[in-house]
Structure 1
Amino acid sequence: MNNYQEKLFPYAYNILGTVDNAKDIVQEVIYKHIAHNNKEVKNETGYLVKSVINAAINLKKRNQKIRNTGMWLPEPIATETSDNGIDSKEIISYSMLVLLEKLSAKERAVFILKNGFDYSHKEISEVIDSTVENSRKLLSRAKAKIVEHKPRVNKTPLQNILPIENYIQVIKNGDATALEKLLSKDILLAADGGKNIKVVRELTTGITATSKLLIYVYRAFLTGLKFKFSSVNHQPAVLFYQKDSLYNCQVLELEKMKIKSIYSIVDPKKLKSLCV
């Protein structure tokens, strides 16, 4: 069943945006399938996929009801290598995961199945126990909510299209003018510290404000820390380490040779999947 775990995980993770919950759902679905000895199931893969998706939808609904109003960013996954037991090809880009938080759980599932896994509306309707017409309506609503904000993610390594060393160097030097030249006019900086870590500011927009905040945060919290460049959810990222522990992950979205968005995750619970 190991192959099933790898195959099923992206469905759950793309809906939930959390690693542990996605793994738990996959394991629970597989365990129940084995325990019940469902010999009458003709299409085992289809059955398991459907079970995982619906379990993920239900959990996402519950999480959306109890989540506080603070900034919530998805849990990042390393996609630089493929030796982490995860089929990273099916993992959605980080910027898209952030954007999908605008959708209801079922809208999100339909959008992912249609655009991420190339399901037909007939197949989607069978998975979510609905009708083709309702599947189309859910997809239409989903697209309407995110069309204006759809990210343009370039999967080319950041080193090949942007002098990322300059991004770190100008912040180190406190060179606001040079930093502003690397940022898009629509730059957005979002930070998630979880329940226990208070970030300086959860959401910042605008070149000047973002530049000042990046320099301040580096001086106050990141000076002297080791860092490396990586690929997180198919996007370039900078990982900062406090001694041997991952302290901060900054995921960057690029557009026209500029940094359009920076997602800064400092919640230790969300960083642990990058540490394995």
Structure 2
Amino acid sequence: MSEHATESFLAHRNLLFTVAYEMLGSAADAEDVLQETWLRWVKVDPARVHDPRSYLVRITTRQALNRLRTMKRRKEAYVGPWLPEPLLTAPDVAEDVELAESVSMALMLILETLSPTERAVFVLREAFDVSYDEIAAAVGKSPAAVRQIAHRARRHVDARRPRQLVSAASSRAVLAAFQRALETRDLQGLLDVLAPDVVLLSDGGGVKQAAVRPVVGAEKVVRFAAGGLGKVQGLITTEPTVVNGSPALLVRLDGDLDGIMAIRVEDDRIAGLYYVRNPQKLTRVTAETTLTHT
């Protein structure tokens, strides 16, 4: 069983990581879940396993649910807004519209408003097309209850998700305009590229300076950015990258990584700005992480 178990686990590892990450929003916690999944998987009687992929997804889901409930207490004590841990992803992820949306900062923040069970059901059903019977086995509910939970979660998410999906090319164009305005400190240029009701969330985790509350409105966001730039001692540079399947900016201060700035675009303007500065969340932005729904 040991060699066979290893082969099966490695064959599905990227899928299992994606399941755990979409449920948790944390790569570090997702890796811990995969370790716990492995420890349970090697103890399973092979005679009980007809479909290794489904069985592994079930174990991963259960471990992620346990971790999600623990994380909820951690987040309640978190300093300032909590943002998902950004992942450097391959450019082709951005071209897979469904995958890119499912791991986007915008959607993952919406998933934060669901209960742990609702989030698990939504992720498994909507992102991975897992059957209701399999989800029921994973979350410990009846198939009928899972259908109701899925319907409730979908309605909740649909009411809050972006009105339209934006192509990677359109997002890159908007991001380039934002980058130019930011680097030249063109305040009018920043106003032009921001939606009137734009929301800025910055995550310093109590370690790096960040706004402790959301900054709402284009003029307030520009004032906040101008104030922050004015206090910086050193040279700020930005470079385009792809984070969570979407165009983003990697921000450096005197050559050292300072943070990741992701965006949400609506109607050719930035409607959401997500700036992650917490150093503990910046460990997965220098090497690509493989994400998959298959």
TM-score by length of 2: 0.83
Q: Give 1:200 deviation, angstroms.
A: 3.7
From 144, 156, 168, the equivalent of 1:156 is: 168
Matches within 5 A, 1:66-85: 66-67=74-75, 68=77, 70-81=80-91
CA distance in 2, matches of 1:160, 1:197: 27
Tell me the amino acid that sits aligned with residue 139 of structure 1. A
Q: Give 1:110 deviation, angstroms.
A: 0.9
- Superposition RMSD in Å: 2.4
Stretches of 4+ aligned residues off by more than 6 angstroms: none
1:62 matches 2:73: no
Q: Give 1:198 deviation, angstroms.
A: 3.0
Query: Residues 159 and 207 (structure 1 numbering): CA distance in 2 closer, same or farther, change over 3 Å?
Result: closer
1:7 matches 2:15: yes
Q: Give the fraction of aligned pairs with identical amino acids, expressed as a percent.
A: 24
2:3 maps to which residue?
none
1:94 maps to which residue?
105
From 194, 203, 215, the equivalent of 1:183 is: 194
2:4 maps to which residue?
none
1:230 matches 2:241: yes
From 40, 61, 65, the equivalent of 1:53 is: 61
CA distance in 1, matches of 2:135, 2:232: 46
CA distance in 2, matches of 1:130, 1:80: 36
From 174, 198, 207, the equivalent of 2:185 is: 174
Residues 118-137 of structure 1, C-alpha deviations (whole Å, 9 max, x = no match): 22323322322211221122
Name the SS for the 1:194 alignment partner.
coil
1:33 maps to which residue?
41
* Gap regions ≥5 residues in structure 2: 1-8, 288-294
From 134, 142, 150, the equivalent of 1:139 is: 150
Name the SS for the 1:103 alignment partner.
coil
2:218 maps to which residue?
207
Name the SS for the 1:13 alignment partner.
helix
Q: Give 1:256 deviation, angstroms.
A: 1.2
Q: Is the 8 A contact 2:33 2:60 kept in 1?
A: yes
Name the SS for the 2:252 alignment partner.
strand
Q: Is the 8 A contact 2:20 2:33 kept in 1?
A: yes
Q: Is the 8 A contact 1:171 1:218 kept in 2?
A: no
- Count of aligned positions: 271
Query: Residues 92 and 172 (structure 1 numbering): CA distance in 2 closer, same or farther, change over 3 Å?
Result: closer
From 44, 51, 55, the equivalent of 1:43 is: 51
Q: Is the 8 A contact 1:114 1:121 kept in 2?
A: yes
From 268, 280, 285, the equivalent of 1:269 is: 280
**Which structure would you say has the larger RCO, counting Cα contacts within 8 Å and 6 or more residues apart?**
2
Tell me the amino acid that sits aligned with residue 56 of structure 1. A
Name the SS for the 1:240 alignment partner.
strand
